[in-house]
Amino acid sequence: MTTARTEHGRGSDAAHEHHLPPEAAALDDETAGKVEALIEQEEGALNRYRGPLLWLTTILAIAMSLFHLYAAVDIVPTMYLRYIHVGFVLTLTFLMYPALRRFRHRLMPWDVLLAAAALYVLYYLVAGGDELTDRYIFPEPMDLMVGWMLIVLVLEATRRTTGPIMPGISIAFMLYAFFGNHLPAPWTHQGYDQVRLIPHLTITLDGIFGTAVDVSSSLIALFTIFGAVLQVTGAGRFFVDFSFALMGGKATSAGRTVVLSSFLLGGPSGSGVATTVTLGSVAWPMMKRVGYAPHDAGGMLAAGGLGAIISPPVLGAAAFLIAEFLQISYLQVIQMAIIPTCLYYASLLFMVELDQRRMGVDARADAERYSTESAGVLFRKYGFHLTSLVSIVGFLLWGYSATLSVVYASAVAAALSWLRRDCAMGPGKAVAALRDGSIQVLNVAATCACAGIIVGVVTLTGLGLKFSEIAISYAGGSLALTAVYTGLIVWVIGLAVPVTASYIISAVIAAPALIKLGVPDYAAHMFIFYYAVLSEVSPPTALSPFAAAAITGAGPYRTTLMAWKYTLPAFLLPFLFVTDPIGIGLLLQRSAGMTWGDVAWITALATFGLGLLAAAAQGFGLRPMAGWERWATAFAGILMIFPAAVDGLLEWASGLTIPAPHWVGIALGLILLAVQAMRPRAPAPG
């Protein structure tokens, strides 16, 4: 029996009706509704208009996309680019996102008023020009009034798109700027009034129009257009179909296929929830047939979706911010992500293979196949979609800027789509891509603008340096313990806000502590980036596991715990970036005296260590493990992945050290494997 499929590049009625990715074609109406509600938690509840309002919002969205494409190929002054970008974002947000869910799909009078206020603020900023920026130290009363208007509009736009937590944090930071002089040391500062703070946040490049909005206006907007082009041309469907066919289209290979397709689909999309939904809609029925429990399958699907945020060439919006914060090229960020991404998927594959052995999957389920078309046939028909994985990198290597590279890659994807009639991006699909590209960037762009308030306060008050001194003091100067504190801080921040916001806040507050202890700035930022990504699998914002749970029917929090289990081995890896002198080799960066042999050595150690940690997490290696074996295996894996951290923490706690911890971990791991190999094999279940 062959599972019925929809035509390549076309979604089911349920997916269309609920405005889900067209690849999520196998979802029924009830499940599609649940998944849509979860996606709305990440992207906000969009208004769906008809008639003149649909035309108005479509024209505005297309105009926004065309403006950003024009700015990528021609010179637009920096300030004007950021002003116009924020103006478009605020105006469209108030038109597209309701103030409350009960007003959804209706344009209310206050929406019109706020959109008009956004346009007025945009006019005031653009008309003020250089004269406005020159007088930010001695602002006029109208400058302060417009500044307050801008702050309120940004806070409200962020509330509509991502919820109240991020605006609440921003307000708390503003209160700190106003009243920090009343706090005890070391948190105190001189205190600032509105004449000093408001222009700093709304006129200079250190506040709302700072680094985050710069990246949002120049890169993130273009990459969302690129993702929309791939979506309307059917690339997502091809990545899923090709992955299943490449693995034989068998139910018993569903786990391996999730790993492969999450990389192919997630790399260009950069969206964890969308990747989870797309994979879950087609992989869950097969995983169920071979014996996966709903929460196990949901955890694996969420872990695969999480890989989208750390996978080249897109890596989610935070990766563009890394390049801007560090003043390096985006190609260098991609380079630093290559080995960690491979290790993440290797860890996930270890978990999948151990699942297969632990459950003793039923090969009889292979009687039902996902597709009748072979990988070769699919490749001949739709293989041109794979250019989306390499075209951006190719243009970057050719010497083009990141902005031009993504524009040209979008053009290549659109042109190649005409190789197949069912994929061709005609006028209708072009309009959809330009419209969706702008609408999909609104929540991230609003978050970036709101984060600018936080960054502005931190730079004005010196909070980042104060915080680093406090963290180092509590850690007693220990790098390992400072890294643990930093990871916990980033994780806690990520519990409440999305990945982009979590990274921005942590980059300006927590990164200085690591850098002050001698960690290279790029390693510190990559460490923070990876822990910011944990917000995708951490309640209450664990949207990827919740989406997977809606598809599999499992409990959302149990699914979240399973997602933690699947991702835990790989998310211990970032400690290697900051605690081991040769650990930065995983980022393809070499310190003084380091060779490529050292890079290969640390990569091999990390791979073996992740395998041991995966076995400990599953409680199964060559054979089922006893409790003591799991703890011993986990300890061996930890010694191999970040021996310096373990040694440093042990010395800090007890004054003892472990000689040659790498080799101790290797020896212990080999001994444990040998013990398991000599144990009789247990009979297969069932």
Q: What residue spans define the domains of the chain?
A: 595-686
∠ CA 672-568-470 to the nearest 5 degrees? 115
Q: Average of pLDDT values for 525-544?
A: 78
Q: Average of pLDDT values for 403-431?
A: 90
Q: Average of pLDDT values for 131-150?
A: 91
Q: Average of pLDDT values for 26-51?
A: 63
| Lowest mean pLDDT, pick from 18-27, 68-77, 101-110 | 18-27
DSSP code of residue 553:
T
- Is it the case that residue 440 has pLDDT exceeding 70? yes
- Is it the case that residue 240 has pLDDT exceeding 50? yes
Q: With bands split at pLDDT 50, 70 and 90, how would you rate the model's confidence at 400?
A: confident
| Lowest mean pLDDT, pick from 33-47, 283-297, 303-317, 557-571 | 33-47
Q: With bands split at pLDDT 50, 70 and 90, how would you rate the model's confidence at 8?
A: very low
Residues 191 and 180: beta-carbon distance below 8 Å: yes
Q: With bands split at pLDDT 50, 70 and 90, how would you rate the model's confidence at 652?
A: low
- Is it the case that residue 256 has pLDDT exceeding 50? yes
Q: With bands split at pLDDT 50, 70 and 90, how would you rate the model's confidence at 416?
A: very high
Q: Which is higher by pLDDT, 661 or 164?
A: 164
In tens, the pLDDT along 616-634 reads: 888 887 788 888 888 898 8
Q: What are phi and psi of 362, to 5 degrees?
A: -90, 110
Q: Rounded to whole angstroms, how far apart are CA atoms 152 and 132? A: 20
| Lowest mean pLDDT, pick from 27-36, 197-206, 537-546 | 27-36
Residue 96, pLDDT score = 92
Q: With bands split at pLDDT 50, 70 and 90, how would you rate the model's confidence at 6?
A: very low
Residues 21 and 277: beta-carbon distance below 8 Å: yes
Most confident of 42-51, 100-109, 238-247: 100-109
Percentage of residues in the chain with pLDDT exceeding 90?
A: 20
Dig out the tokens for 130 from the structure. Answer: 């250089």
Residue 277, pLDDT score = 77
Q: Which is higher by pLDDT, 253 or 485?
A: 485
Q: Which is higher by pLDDT, 106 or 59?
A: 59
Residue 267, pLDDT score = 59
Q: Which is higher by pLDDT, 180 or 375?
A: 180
Chain-centroid distance, C-alpha 107: 31
- Is it the case that residue 117 has pLDDT exceeding 80? yes
Residues 425 and 232: beta-carbon distance below 8 Å: yes
Residues 137 and 197: beta-carbon distance below 8 Å: no
Q: Rounded to whole angstroms, how far apart are CA atoms 138 and 673? A: 71
Q: Average of pLDDT values for 48-74?
A: 92
For residue 296, which of 280, 274, 273 has the smallest C-alpha distance? 280
What's the farthest any 2 CA atoms get from each other in the chain? 83
Residue 353: count other Cβ atoms within 10 Å of its Cβ: 16
Residue 449, pLDDT score = 93
- Is it the case that residue 504 has pLDDT exceeding 80? yes
- Is it the case that residue 315 has pLDDT exceeding 80? no
Residue 638, pLDDT score = 85
The residues, any chain, with a CB within 8 Å of residue 662's CB and separated by 6 or more, are 605, 639, 640, 643
- Is it the case that residue 685 has pLDDT exceeding 60? no
Residue 264, pLDDT score = 75
DSSP code of residue 369:
B
Q: Average of pLDDT values for 384-403?
A: 84
Q: Average of pLDDT values for 375-389?
A: 83
- Is it the case that residue 69 has pLDDT exceeding 50? yes
Q: Which is higher by pLDDT, 121 or 646?
A: 121
Residue with tokens 């970057």: 396
- Is it the case that residue 181 has pLDDT exceeding 60? yes
Q: Average of pLDDT values for 70-95?
A: 92
| Lowest mean pLDDT, pick from 266-280, 447-461, 521-535 | 266-280
Q: Which is higher by pLDDT, 47 or 33?
A: 47
Q: Which residues pair with 77 in a beta bridge?
A: none
Q: What are phi and psi of 270, to 5 degrees?
A: 70, 15
Residue 534, pLDDT score = 78
Q: With bands split at pLDDT 50, 70 and 90, how would you rate the model's confidence at 650?
A: low
Q: Which is higher by pLDDT, 125 or 22?
A: 125
Residue 223, pLDDT score = 85
Residue 613: count other Cβ atoms within 10 Å of its Cβ: 26
Q: With bands split at pLDDT 50, 70 and 90, how would you rate the model's confidence at 16?
A: very low
- Is it the case that residue 47 has pLDDT exceeding 90? no
Query: For 252-328, where are the alpha helices, taking DSSP H only?
Result: 254-269, 272-289, 294-310, 317-326
Q: Average of pLDDT values for 355-371?
A: 59
Percentage of residues in the chain with pLDDT exceeding 70?
A: 85
Q: With bands split at pLDDT 50, 70 and 90, how would you rate the model's confidence at 435?
A: very high
Residue 120, pLDDT score = 96
Q: Which is higher by pLDDT, 435 or 658?
A: 435
Q: Which residues pair with 624 in a beta bridge?
A: 620
- Is it the case that residue 364 has pLDDT exceeding 80? no
What rounded mean pLDDT belongs to the chain? 81
Residues 588 and 639: beta-carbon distance below 8 Å: no
The residues, any chain, with a CB within 8 Å of residue 622's CB and separated by 6 or more, are 673, 676, 677, 679
